[in-house]
Structure 1
């Protein structure tokens, strides 16, 4: 049986593993097909493919990306799978998104520094190295400065809506992201729909609109998930004529989140890979 993990991150965005470390770990964990879906960048795809070849790994890499969008008051993430990493429309959009990330990061740093923290933007940039600075990098800086014991604690206290370091995003809309993914020959997948802290009424509205805009699939299976949630998401996918995807959303090793762990679709779901040639 082929093991698919279609959502992962490297140091090219807010993951902690290099692409070389990521693909090697995926192979060690028994993953057969891995999608690299860094935030608003495809810069890691070519080196990941090279690493698979150099290490002679029995692993298929799916070129992907995760694009942040705005929908009503929510930040919604859309994964692109099997994208052409040289497609002009996609690269233009990712360039705009990266500029927005840079501007937002500067504002977050200013707010945190005014609150008494030290050189947060500069330190976040050092953590990010080659990648775009994200809120996850700021969270790691604040953990080091004693603001909270965990990244999750920092988000809750400082980086979430209504708190000191929160800066509203100005991402593109869902239609723009879906169109850019399609222009690159890819499939647009609604990422982790159960994580957006919205009521079932709003969740149904989101999925219906995503489908009506041309979305192709939604993530149904994740590593840490109650079986009833998986079944419910599968039902919503079928009701809206969407294919189903699965992914760990791996950023770094955790006891409850691991590459390939606990990833399977409900029996009556059609996998997004069934449309691949």
Structure 2
């Protein structure tokens, strides 16, 4: 297999909370020189066949992907799965259960926003949803920007959708063990997504990495659109410390509110093992 350098293994389509179709994402990734791509919609594998076909049409190699929401020490953490069998029944059922409850949570979020004068937020958010099972805070944020309540989505999160704010409603996700088990038993690799985003203490972060590794997790995102250049170095060191392979992904959602374009991140540091080397037999 020829050496892969420009891999983008984290992005989202209209199947979850992105704004582009899998086909449009594939064209965008290929146009930016991506050689290996994965679509990682939240708690969903419904776009995988389209993404694989689009990757082939655009001359890219492909790994199946998803991003699973879990709860760890009271916080929501994301685990990316790569290279699994997208038809695995246990994985699909686990994702279905994880998606369950999003609508009820969204209704509660809308009620909270109504109490501070923002009416019909649930209906407004639905206009931005490609998959009603996956209505999320991002869809509410887009509605509040469209309706002029805030200028950009980051302002919405800061003022309305984080803990202690009017539209925040916690969701009880799967466990870390659940997510890693679903992915690995379906033949894939579990990867900790954008670890710098979580507000863990050093001891809590050590616990996350330790438990993840103990359950069979094998990778961590080092170079991601959510990390600074300094954080690339921090998590490169963490990958070495825990014997984890390194992943790279933009976390692209939309041309309008994503800071990092598909395929434009710096390359992984040379002294790390890329996840795609371990997943070579799973690349399509």
- When the two structures are superposed, what TM-score results if normalisation uses the length of structure 2? 0.92
| 2: CA distance, partners of 1:261 / 1:161 | 32
1:40 aligns with 2:43: yes
User: 2:37·2:55 contact (CA, 8 Å) conserved in 1?
Assistant: no
What 5-or-longer segments of structure 1 have no aligned partner?
none
CA-to-aligned-CA distance 1:127-178 (integer Å, 9 cap, x gap): 1033521100001111122222110101011000011000011101100011
CA-to-aligned-CA distance 1:49-77 (integer Å, 9 cap, x gap): 23345xx3111221110000000121110
Q: 1:169/1:224 Cα in 2 relative to 1: closer, same or farther (>3 Å)?
A: closer
| 1: CA distance, partners of 2:194 / 2:55 | 27
| 1: CA distance, partners of 2:225 / 2:94 | 30
User: 2:226·2:251 contact (CA, 8 Å) conserved in 1?
Assistant: no
CA-to-aligned-CA distance 1:8-65 (integer Å, 9 cap, x gap): 1001111111111100001101001111000000011112223345xx3111221110
- Following superposition, the deviation at residue 274 of structure 1 comes to 1.1
Residue number in structure 2 paired with 1:152: 154
CA-to-aligned-CA distance 1:212-263 (integer Å, 9 cap, x gap): 2211111011246433321221111111111111111111236841111123
Q: 1:215/1:224 Cα in 2 relative to 1: closer, same or farther (>3 Å)?
A: closer
User: 2:252·2:261 contact (CA, 8 Å) conserved in 1?
Assistant: yes
What aligned pairs does 1:80-91 form with structure 2 within 5 A after superposition?
80-91=81-92
Residue number in structure 2 paired with 1:59: 60
Residue number in structure 2 paired with 1:218: 220
Which segment drifts farther, 158-167 or 119-128?
119-128
User: 1:34·1:60 contact (CA, 8 Å) conserved in 2?
Assistant: yes
Residue number in structure 1 paired with 2:11: 8
Following TM superposition, the consecutive aligned residue runs of length 4 or more in structure 1 with deviations greater than 6 angstroms are: none
What root-mean-square deviation, in Å, do the aligned CA atoms of Structure 1 and Structure 2 show? 1.6
| 1: CA distance, partners of 2:55 / 2:248 | 22
- When the two structures are superposed, what TM-score results if normalisation uses the length of structure 1? 0.94
What aligned pairs does 1:63-212 form with structure 2 within 5 A after superposition?
63-131=64-132, 132-212=134-214
Counterpart secondary structure, 1:68: strand
Q: 1:262 aligned to 246, 261, 265, which one? A: 265
What 5-or-longer segments of structure 2 have no aligned partner?
none
Counterpart secondary structure, 2:204: helix
